[in-house]
């Protein structure tokens, strides 16, 4: 009997190619299904300390005109204009306040660039508040809350292009171990790959491990839960972040005095609120205000917010 | 959690399917060695109320291309005319020359006969004791070194005993399974059978299933020393091994039981340390499969009960006494995946029920299942062709169109049998459904007995 070796190998190869093809068709569905209810483990690290070293450097600006007060801007999601879907709209068909279009975002960043704005790191901001660092008159801090995947897809290239940097407050439990295809119409968060690919522009800080939630009576977890429980959650996020505790942003911008004591205890140097005013020397470092940029903001509105 | 379990099981399913696809594909049939002297073979044919089919096996026996054999019919206290038909047709006369080995117990043998017409054919008439008991009696009276068990409705291929003898030349072969073909899937006569697919769907389903079971599963399992069952319809054993395991055990599935006990013998008895169970694809017998849903149901329920019974009987023997590989095949492939045979397909509705978001996963499992099943069937056709199953072009087209249809229809039927059989095992452990015989109604035309005289 002949061994049919060529035929067999060919047949097996075709089989494996076809099988791989079918698996690849459904790969994302499997990844999504397996990953969807899974939190990023508390006892694992996101592993990007090495590429976040730049956030430790404090630049020597030697500005000709020194800033008295600056704006910290707050964003959440940025989606391409074509990608805007029902999920981004409220019941009246208006864009949710947490979503802006990429074209608007690009125009804003272009303006910052054209006007020679400097984007500060969290550490530089801290030094500025404490009066230890002179910063240019035209300085701004960009912050992105929650760590949506669109930040990696849409925001990153724009910031990279203009050589700017931003703080990204991530809910570390939401980080995905496996990368998925980006879909604007879903709530997707950074994957480990996304973190790695964008860590030269974003400095990643804690937005809790898994406490971006409210109690039934709408009290945010940070306020509603007992302090030791909150502490555990924040500690988990810090473990994920390998101890990087330069800055913290409270979910919904809501916090109480005990929270502030906890931030201090955990070694955070600064914490942010959502109070839309300017920041100046002497601002309480644990209550740094932020101005949210809304989808309805015109470029003139934006100008006012950064001035 | 549910999803993780599902996907874990599915991954196991894929592993076994890949084994069953790849190993048979790359199997190279050995060229037969020069036939040395013929080994002595005793063919035991147990019969209980088989008047309609008891003479069917004679077609094969008379055409055997072999001489060193004897046939022992065992009438297990039939209540119909089985005994009379045998005596009338084969001219049996009482003999005192045949004596038992007195090694394994069995119900009392009333008379021993020898055929005047064919002196190599004997008949034991005994008290009813069940199939296992009849086989034990047959083994007791067997004079030859190798015992072949054959169902009354099964027809030996003319080259079958030669193939068995050839393989048993290797001293380490202690038991072997033959290849069981469905006789309705052939036309022509027994000396020159031609496969056909011009048969009803229910039989087509079984033909595909048998071909898959033997040419893919058995071939792979034999290679991995993990044959889970030597089919009762056609198996071969060294008589001494049957004595050493104290014969067949009275159970609903004596064939799986005896197979597992042979494995146990190999693992636990020093004398059998080097021994092995093999599969002989060239040793073919043709058996009539159930032609109605009702009979098929009865047969499959019996098989499933036998399987569950064996699981409980051997539950303490797995791994240590039965070896790792056989235990894995039995527990994972046969029990875990097999008892949820169409597992992926069955699980899909539940997945959707639990979480509609899993629709894509359900679709994925479904696609992969269909893909694997189609490829497996393709390999099955290729391998069986290499072994000489040459379907004509028209029949081949029929097969190709039937398979995708079969995967989503008849195969689900198998699942229903498995679930029902398992449940019925627990409900009534002893009920024994004897499948009705329809007699020889298939397209396979028997050669009239009188045509052949010399045996």
CA distance B340 to A303: 66
B448 assigned to some structural domain: no
> Closest Cα partner for B296 from B421, B183, B381?
B421
| DSSP code at position B159 | T
In this prediction, residue B252 has a pLDDT band, given cuts at 50, 70 and 90, of: confident
Question: Based on the domain organization, do B344 and B309 belong to the same domain?
Answer: no
> A27 φ, ψ to 5°?
-50, -50
The answer to whether residues B46 and B150 touch, using CB atoms and an 8 Å cutoff, is no
Contact A29 B361 (CB under 8 A): yes
Q: Which residue has the higher pLDDT, B190 or B389?
A: B389
Question: Based on the domain organization, do B288 and B346 belong to the same domain?
Answer: no
Question: Based on the domain organization, do B140 and B227 belong to the same domain?
Answer: yes
DSSP helix/strand/coil, B154: strand
Amino acid B348: pLDDT: 64
DSSP helix/strand/coil, A105: helix
Say yes or no to pLDDT of A9 above 80. Answer: yes
Question: Based on the domain organization, do B133 and B68 belong to the same domain?
Answer: yes
Closest residue in B to A21 (Cα–Cα): B368
Contact A26 B25 (CB under 8 A): no
Which residues form the domain of B130? 34-314
Contact B364 A1 (CB under 8 A): no
| DSSP code at position A154 | I
Say yes or no to pLDDT of B444 above 70. Answer: no
Mean of the per-residue pLDDT values for chain A? 92
B32 touches chain A (CB under 8 A): no
CA distance A236 to A217: 25
B162: tokens are 């030669």
Say yes or no to pLDDT of B434 above 50. Answer: no
Q: What is the pLDDT of residues B84-143, one digit of tens each?
A: 999 999 999 999 888 898 899 999 999 999 999 999 999 999 999 999 999 999 999 999
**Quick one: fold of A43-306?**
TIM Barrel (3.20.20)
What letters, b where the CB count within 10 A reaches 16 and e where it falls short, cover A7-27?
ebeebbeebeeebeebeeebe
Amino acid B442: pLDDT: 40
Q: How far is CA A298 from the centre of its chain?
A: 23
Closest residue in B to A22 (Cα–Cα): B368
Task: Provide the residue ranges of all domains of chain A, joining segments of one domain with +.
Answer: 1-37, 43-306
In this prediction, residue B6 has a pLDDT band, given cuts at 50, 70 and 90, of: confident
Question: Based on the domain organization, do B159 and B270 belong to the same domain?
Answer: yes
CATH assignment at residue B155: 3.90.550.10
Amino acid B366: pLDDT: 82
Say yes or no to pLDDT of B21 above 50. Answer: yes
> Closest Cα partner for B286 from B440, B448, B74, B453?
B440
CA distance B254 to B132: 6
Question: Based on the domain organization, do B214 and B354 belong to the same domain?
Answer: no
Amino acid B432: pLDDT: 45
B305 assigned to some structural domain: yes
Say yes or no to pLDDT of B144 above 60. Answer: yes
With 0-12 / 13-18 / 19 or more C-beta atoms within 10 angstroms meaning exposed / middle / buried, residue B209 is middle
B11 touches chain A (CB under 8 A): no
β-sheet bridge partners, residue B125: B75, B111
Say yes or no to pLDDT of B251 above 90. Answer: no
In this prediction, residue B430 has a pLDDT band, given cuts at 50, 70 and 90, of: low
Amino acid A177: pLDDT: 87
Q: What is the pLDDT of residues A224-233, one digit of tens each?
A: 999 999 999 9
Contact A26 B375 (CB under 8 A): no
Chain B hits for A3, Cβ within 8 Å: 28
Chain A hits for B375, Cβ within 8 Å: 15, 18
Of the candidates B29, B357, B371, the beta carbon closest to that of A1 is on B29
Of the candidates B25, B31, B363, the beta carbon closest to that of A1 is on B31
Q: What is the pLDDT of residues A242-299, one digit of tens each?
A: 999 999 999 999 999 999 999 999 999 999 999 999 999 999 999 999 999 999 999 9
Say yes or no to pLDDT of B451 above 50. Answer: no
Say yes or no to pLDDT of A106 above 80. Answer: yes
Residue to substitute from B2, B11, B22, interface A, most A β-carbons within 10 A:
B22
B383 assigned to some structural domain: yes
Of the candidates B3, B30, B31, the beta carbon closest to that of A33 is on B3
B449 assigned to some structural domain: no
B325 assigned to some structural domain: no
The whole-angstrom distance between B200's CA and the closest CA on chain A is: 31
DSSP helix/strand/coil, A295: coil
Mean of the per-residue pLDDT values for chain B? 86
Q: Taking the model in full, what pTM does it have?
A: 0.71
The answer to whether residues A224 and A255 touch, using CB atoms and an 8 Å cutoff, is no
Q: What distances in angstroms separate CA B283 from CA A84, A128, B279, one per listed residue?
A: 69, 90, 9
CA distance B363 to B97: 67
Q: How many residues does this entry show for chain B? A: 455
Amino acid B445: pLDDT: 41
In this prediction, residue B35 has a pLDDT band, given cuts at 50, 70 and 90, of: low
Q: Which of residues 340-359 of B touch A (CB under 8 A)?
A: 357-358
Of the candidates A1, A15, A30, the beta carbon closest to that of B361 is on A30
In this prediction, residue B450 has a pLDDT band, given cuts at 50, 70 and 90, of: very low
Chain A hits for B21, Cβ within 8 Å: 15
Residue to substitute from A3, A8, A10, interface B, most B β-carbons within 10 A:
A8
What's the mean pLDDT in A192-220?
93
End-of-domain residue from the set B314, B348, B372 = B314
Closest residue in A to B363 (Cα–Cα): A26
Say yes or no to pLDDT of B438 above 80. Answer: no
Q: Lowest mean pLDDT: which of A6-20, B379-393, B405-419?
A: B405-419
Question: Based on the domain organization, do B228 and B106 belong to the same domain?
Answer: yes
Question: Based on the domain organization, do B203 and B248 belong to the same domain?
Answer: yes
**Domain count within chain B:** 2
Amino acid B351: pLDDT: 65
Amino acid B452: pLDDT: 34
- Terminal-residue alpha carbon distance, chain B: 65
CA distance A22 to B379: 19
Q: What distances in angstroms separate CA B304 from CA A303, B146, B299, B425, one per listed residue?
A: 78, 29, 9, 8
Q: What distances in angstroms separate CA A48 from CA A55, A200, A241, A246, one per listed residue?
A: 12, 10, 8, 15
Chain B hits for A1, Cβ within 8 Å: 28-31, 386
Question: Based on the domain organization, do B302 and B221 belong to the same domain?
Answer: yes
Amino acid A232: pLDDT: 93
In the Cβ-directed half-sphere of B412, how many Cα atoms lie within 13 Å?
9
Question: Based on the domain organization, do B60 and B10 belong to the same domain?
Answer: no
The answer to whether residues B86 and B54 touch, using CB atoms and an 8 Å cutoff, is yes
Amino acid B352: pLDDT: 66
Amino acid B357: pLDDT: 64
Size of interface A-B (CB pairs under 8 A): 49
The answer to whether residues B317 and B437 touch, using CB atoms and an 8 Å cutoff, is no
Contact B361 A33 (CB under 8 A): yes
**Among residues of chain A, what percentage have pLDDT more than 90?**
79
β-sheet bridge partners, residue B121: B71
Closest residue in B to A24 (Cα–Cα): B364
B363 touches chain A (CB under 8 A): yes
A271: tokens are 């914490």
Q: Angle A239-A241-A242 (CA atoms, 0-180°, nearest 5)?
A: 65
End-of-domain residue from the set B251, B281, B314 = B314
CA distance B128 to B144: 24
In this prediction, residue B33 has a pLDDT band, given cuts at 50, 70 and 90, of: low
Question: Based on the domain organization, do B212 and B280 belong to the same domain?
Answer: yes
Chain A hits for B30, Cβ within 8 Å: 1
Amino acid B340: pLDDT: 55
> B327 φ, ψ to 5°?
-60, -40
Amino acid B439: pLDDT: 45
Amino acid B346: pLDDT: 63
Contact B382 A11 (CB under 8 A): yes
CA distance B110 to B90: 19
The whole-angstrom distance between A29's CA and the closest CA on chain B is: 6
What's the mean pLDDT in B9-20?
87
Q: Which chain A residues have any C-beta within 8 angstroms of a chain B C-beta?
A: 1, 3-4, 8, 11-12, 15, 18-19, 22-23, 25-26, 29-30, 33-34, 36
The whole-angstrom distance between A211's CA and the closest CA on chain B is: 23
CA distance A90 to A75: 17
Say yes or no to pLDDT of B320 above 60. Answer: yes
Q: What is the pLDDT of residues B305-316, one digit of tens each?
A: 888 889 999 999
Q: Lowest mean pLDDT: which of A64-68, A111-115, A117-121?
A: A64-68
Q: How many residues does this entry show for chain A? A: 307
* Residue that the structure tokens 């899993």 belong to: B358
Q: What is the pLDDT of residues A18-52, one digit of tens each?
A: 999 998 888 877 877 776 567 888 889 998 888 99
The whole-angstrom distance between B69's CA and the closest CA on chain A is: 29
Question: Based on the domain organization, do B218 and B350 belong to the same domain?
Answer: no
Amino acid B80: pLDDT: 93
Q: What is the pLDDT of residues B237-249, one digit of tens each?
A: 999 999 999 999 9
**B326 Cβ contact partners less than 8 Å away, ≥ 6 residues apart:** B225, B226, B227, B228, B260, B263
């Amino acid at each position: 009997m002949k061994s049919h070796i060529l035929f067999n190998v060919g047949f097996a190869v075709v089989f494996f190619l076809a099988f791989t093809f079918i698996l690849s068709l459904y790969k994302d569905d499997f990844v999504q299904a397996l990953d969807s209810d899974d939190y990023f483990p508390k006892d694992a690290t996101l592993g990007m300390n090495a590429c976040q070293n730049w956030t430790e450097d404090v630049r020597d600006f030697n500005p000709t005109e020194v800033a008295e007060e600056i704006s910290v801007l707050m964003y959440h999601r940025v989606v391409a204009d074509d990608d805007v879907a029902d999920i981004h709209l409220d019941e009246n068909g208006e864009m949710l306040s947490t979503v802006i279009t990429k074209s608007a975002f690009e125009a804003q960043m272009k303006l910052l660039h054209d006007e020679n704005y400097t984007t500060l790191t969290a550490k530089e901001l801290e030094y500025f508040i404490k009066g230890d660092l002179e910063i240019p008159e035209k300085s701004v801090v960009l912050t992105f809350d929650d760590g949506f995947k669109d930040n990696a897809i849409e925001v990153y290239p724009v910031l990279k292009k203009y050589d700017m940097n931003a703080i990204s407050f991530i809910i570390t439990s939401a980080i995905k171990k496996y990368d998925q295809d980006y879909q604007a119409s879903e709530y997707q968060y950074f994957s480990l790959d996304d973190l790695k690919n964008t860590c030269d522009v974003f400095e990643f800080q804690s937005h809790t491990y898994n406490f971006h939630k409210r109690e039934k009576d709408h009290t945010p977890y940070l306020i509603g839960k007992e302090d030791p429980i909150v502490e555990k959650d924040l500690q988990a996020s810090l473990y994920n972040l390998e101890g990087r505790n330069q800055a913290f942003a409270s979910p919904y911008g809501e916090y109480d005095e005990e929270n502030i004591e906890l931030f201090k205890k955990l070694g955070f140097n600064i914490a942010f609120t959502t109070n839309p005013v300017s920041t100046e020397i002497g601002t309480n470092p644990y209550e740094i205000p932020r101005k949210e940029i809304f989808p309805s903001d015109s470029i003139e509105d934006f100008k006012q917010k950064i001035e | 959690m549910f999803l993780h379990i599902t996907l874990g099981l599915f991954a196991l399913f894929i592993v076994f399917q890949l084994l069953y696809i790849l190993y048979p594909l790359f199997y190279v049939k050995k060229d037969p060695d020069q036939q040395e002297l013929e080994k002595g073979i005793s063919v035991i044919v147990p019969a209980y109320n088989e008047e309609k089919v008891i003479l069917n096996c004679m077609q094969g026996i008379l055409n055997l291309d072999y001489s060193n054999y004897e046939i022992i019919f065992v009438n297990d206290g039939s209540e119909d005319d089985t005994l009379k038909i045998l005596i009338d047709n084969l001219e049996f006369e009482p003999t005192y020359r045949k004596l038992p080995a007195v090694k394994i117990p069995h119900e009392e043998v009333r008379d021993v006969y020898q055929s005047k017409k064919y002196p190599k054919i004997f008949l034991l008439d005994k008290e009813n004791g069940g199939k296992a008991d009849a086989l034990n009696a047959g083994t007791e009276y067997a004079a030859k070194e190798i015992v072949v068990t054959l169902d009354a409705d099964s027809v030996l291929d003319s080259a079958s005993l030669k193939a068995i003898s050839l393989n048993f030349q290797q001293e380490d072969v202690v038991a072997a399974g033959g290849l069981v073909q469905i006789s309705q899937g052939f036309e022509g006569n027994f000396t020159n059978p031609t496969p056909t697919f011009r048969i009803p769907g229910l039989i087509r389903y079984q033909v595909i299933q048998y071909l898959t079971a033997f040419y893919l599963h058995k071939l792979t399992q034999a290679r991995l020393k993990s044959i889970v069952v030597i089919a009762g319809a056609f198996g071969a054993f060294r008589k001494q091994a049957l004595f050493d395991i104290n014969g067949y055990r009275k159970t609903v599935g004596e064939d799986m039981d005896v197979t597992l006990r042979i494995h146990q013998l190999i693992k636990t008895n020093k004398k059998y340390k080097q021994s092995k169970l093999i599969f002989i694809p060239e040793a073919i017998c043709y058996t009539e499969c159930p032609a109605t849903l009702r009979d098929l149901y009865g047969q499959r329920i019996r098989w499933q009960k036998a399987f569950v019974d064996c699981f409980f009987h051997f539950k303490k023997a797995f791994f240590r006494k039965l070896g790792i590989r056989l235990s894995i095949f039995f527990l994972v492939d046969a029990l875990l995946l097999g008892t949820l045979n169409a597992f992926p397909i069955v699980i899909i509705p539940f997945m959707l029920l639990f979480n509609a978001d899993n629709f894509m996963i359900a679709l994925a499992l479904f696609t992969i299942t269909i893909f694997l099943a189609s490829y497996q069937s393709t390999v099955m056709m290729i391998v069986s062709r290499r072994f000489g199953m040459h379907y004509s072009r028209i029949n081949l087209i029929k097969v190709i169109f039937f398979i995708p249809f079969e995967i989503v229809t008849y195969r689900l039927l198998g699942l229903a049998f498995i679930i029902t059989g398992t449940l019925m095992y627990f409900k009534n452990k002893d009920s024994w459904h004897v499948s009705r015989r329809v007699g020889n109604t298939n397209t396979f035309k028997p050669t009239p007995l009188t045509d052949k005289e010399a045996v």
